[in-house]
């Protein structure tokens, strides 16, 4: 019976809209995946030596912070990992036994990206530990325990996913614990480190997380099995709707009409709501670069672009897919493409502008740093906003708005043409800034980047005509692709 399920899953996978196309694309995708995996693996390997360099005992330091690692993992899961509920419905009336259905859907979550991505860190890290002379059996037991903890998070997410906004509680928990530790009020790691360390040192302690995992699986299984009804576990929660007029936007004409719609789109759908959350995360991206002497100076502009560009990258990247479920409607209404694109452009510009203002806390690092961010924002508005919209013409992956999963590197949302368009978004300003640095004049570099942004802004109308043309050419294949619901 399981064979039948796997058959269904396989078909679903290979028949999705963006899969297939042509061989070159597949090869490029393959290379990119290998490339990113290598980066993660390098991080796993590097962690050991970087920590050692900082005169810390690597293994116990990692153990110390594991509590935060797993808490953070749970937050990410609550936000982004969703449970495949809809695919279950057609199976209910077929001669499958309920336990089989539940085991299978739980088994499916086991293979999720959110689980195996951890292996990319833990496996190379463990290999390094083994090479550096740590006890092999200890490492294996420790890894088994880590695996169990990852899957405990996996099943916790399933049970807890019905509770709204729970992730906020966990974020607060992390902030409180982290803050208390930073100000030396209360150090939670004092209690947790011995446990994580013990998983390695004490033979047999690893049984505990495994037992918890088994218990949790049994509980989740029973919970889902008892709720396998259309009006219980399989029901989709209906929100209480409220009509909003947002009449103040009427003064902007057609543009206002679209903006109204986009605001509602973002507010009322899980997937689009996470883009706001991600944009806020991007705001803090600069901390990795500014005031960090390990990073080359040229990377400052890189950070500058990302700090204000969060919304641009996570929302703009998927225009017009946000409207995919009603794209046919848009195409039969009395709207010029230009108006549609312009409204998206304004949305991106407004968000970039707001991010830049919010990012003013970077002034603590000095006005030069903030200037870099402002320059990045100018470039984002002048050039990158056009590039994401142009990339949108090639984005043919329908977005299921109600589904939160997939905001992170979903296989189905992976699009090479759109990927290639991300390169100039980052490489061009990086190059311009590097020229300035090469000539030993940082301000020249900034001026070059800002100049490119202004230039893009000046030629806005021309670029828009180009984008409009592209959208028109792609219209029919886009409509066709959007008809395929995932």
- Interface with another protein by CB under 8 A: which residues? 238-245, 254, 256-257, 260-261, 264-265, 268-269, 325-329, 331-336, 401-402, 476, 479-480, 483
Q: What is the dihedral of CA 403, 406, 412, 417, to 10 degrees?
A: 120
Q: How many CB atoms lie within 10 A of CB 50?
A: 13
Q: How far is the CB of 403 from another protein (least distance, A)?
A: 12
> 54 or 241: whose CB is closer to another protein?
241
Supply the minimum distance, in Å, between the C-beta of residue 269 and another protein. Answer: 6
Distance CA 59, CA 255 (A): 56
Give the C-alpha separation, 309 to 379, whole Å: 10
Backbone angles phi, psi at 294, to 5 degrees: -70, -20
**CA nearest 301: which of 436, 439, 458, 440?**
436
**Smallest gap, in angstroms, from Cβ of residue 12 to another protein?**
20
Q: Kindly state the smallest distance separating residue 321's Cβ from another protein, in Å.
A: 14
Structure tokens at 446: 């900034």
Phi, psi torsion values for 349, nearest 5 degrees? -65, -45
Distance from C-alpha of 120 to C-alpha of 127, rounded to nearest angstrom: 11
Residue 212's nearest CA partner among 270, 144, 166 is 144
Q: How far apart are CA 142 and CA 408, in angstroms?
A: 28
CA 238 from centre of chain: 25
Q: How far is the CB of 328 from another protein (least distance, A)?
A: 5
Which one, 329 or 357, has the nearer CB to another protein? 329
Between residues 189 and 325, which has the closer beta carbon with respect to another protein? 325
Based on CB atoms, which residue is closest to another protein, 16 or 112? Answer: 16
Q: Which structure tokens are listed for 184?
A: 């030396």
Closer residue to another protein (CB): 194 or 256: 256
d(CA 190, CA 192): 6
Q: Which is nearer to another protein, 270 or 442 (CB)?
A: 270
User: How crowded is residue 104: how many other Cβ atoms within 10 Å of its Cβ?
Assistant: 21
Least CB distance to another protein at residue 194 (A): 49
Query: CB of 476: closest distance to another protein in angstroms?
Result: 5
Sequence-distant (≥ 6) Cβ neighbours of residue 306 within 8 angstroms: 282, 285, 286, 313, 376
Q: Taking the complex as a whole, how short is the minimal distance between the CB of residue 404 and another protein, in angstroms?
A: 14
* CB closer to another protein out of 47 and 479: 479
Compare residues 222 and 483 and give the one whose CB is closer to another protein: 483
Spatial distance between the Cα atoms of 183 and 189, rounded to a whole number of angstroms: 14
Q: For another protein, give the closer residue by CB, 64 or 396.
A: 396
Task: Tell me how far, at minimum, the Cβ of 235 lies from another protein, in Å.
Answer: 11
Distance between CA 465 and CA 386 in Å, rounded? 11
Question: 75 burial class (0-12, 13-18, 19+ CB within 10 angstroms)?
Answer: buried
Select 137 or 332, whichever has its Cβ closest to another protein: 332
CB of 155 to another protein, least distance (A): 29
**CB–CB of 272/266 below 8 Å?**
yes
- Is residue 278 within 8 A of residue 347, CB to CB? The reply is no
């Amino acid at each position: 019976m399981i064979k039948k399920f796997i058959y269904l899953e396989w078909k679903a996978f290979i028949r999705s809209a963006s899969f297939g196309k042509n061989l070159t694309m597949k090869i490029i995708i393959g290379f990119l995946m290998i490339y990113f995996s290598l980066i993660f693996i390098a991080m796993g390997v590097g962690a050991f030596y970087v920590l050692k360099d900082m005169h810390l005992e690597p293994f116990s330091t990692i153990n110390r912070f594991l509590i935060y690692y797993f808490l953070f993992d749970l937050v990410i899961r609550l936000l982004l990992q969703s449970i495949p509920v809809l695919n279950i419905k057609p199976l209910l009336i077929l001669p499958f036994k309920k336990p089989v259905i539940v085991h299978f859907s739980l088994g499916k979550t086991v293979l999720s990206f959110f689980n195996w991505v951890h292996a990319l860190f833990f496996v190379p890290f463990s290999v390094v530990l083994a090479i550096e002379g740590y006890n092999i059996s200890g490492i294996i037991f420790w890894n088994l325990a880590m695996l169990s903890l990852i899957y405990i998070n996996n099943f916790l997410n399933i049970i807890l996913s019905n509770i709204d906004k729970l992730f906020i509680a966990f974020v607060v928990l992390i902030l409180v614990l982290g803050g208390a530790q930073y100000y030396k009020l209360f150090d939670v790691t004092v209690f947790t480190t011995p446990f994580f360390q013990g998983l390695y040192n004490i033979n047999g302690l690893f049984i505990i997380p495994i037992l918890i995992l088994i218990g949790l699986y049994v509980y989740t299984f029973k919970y889902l099995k008892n709720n396998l009804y259309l009006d219980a576990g399989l029901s989709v929660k209906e929100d209480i709707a409220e009509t909003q007029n947002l009449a103040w936007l009427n003064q902007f004409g057609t543009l206002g009409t679209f903006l109204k719609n986009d605001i509602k789109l973002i507010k009322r759908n899980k997937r689009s709501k996470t883009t706001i959350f991600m944009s806020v995360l991007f705001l803090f991206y600069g901390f990795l670069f500014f005031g960090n002497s390990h990073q080359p100076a040229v990377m400052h502009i890189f950070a500058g672009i990302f700090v204000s560009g969060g919304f641009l990258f996570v929302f703009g990247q998927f225009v017009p897919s946000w409207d995919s479920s009603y794209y046919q409607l848009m195409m039969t209404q009395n709207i010029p493409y230009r108006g549609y694109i312009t409204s998206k452009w304004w949305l991106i510009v407004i968000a970039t502008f707001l991010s830049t203002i919010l990012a003013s806390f970077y002034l603590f690092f000095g006005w030069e740093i903030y200037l870099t961010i402002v320059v990045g924002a100018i470039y984002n508005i002048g050039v990158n906003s056009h590039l994401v919209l142009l990339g949108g013409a090639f984005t043919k992956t329908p977005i299921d708005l109600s589904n939160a999963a997939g905001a992170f590197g979903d296989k189905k949302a992976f699009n090479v043409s759109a990927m290639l368009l991300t390169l100039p978004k980052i490489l061009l300003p990086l190059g311009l800034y590097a020229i300035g640095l090469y000539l030993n004049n940082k301000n020249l570099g900034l001026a070059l980047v800002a100049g490119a942004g202004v230039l893009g802004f000046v030629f806005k109308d021309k670029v828009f005509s180009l984008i409009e043309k592209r959208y028109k050419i792609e219209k029919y294949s886009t409509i066709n692709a959007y008809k395929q619901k995932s």
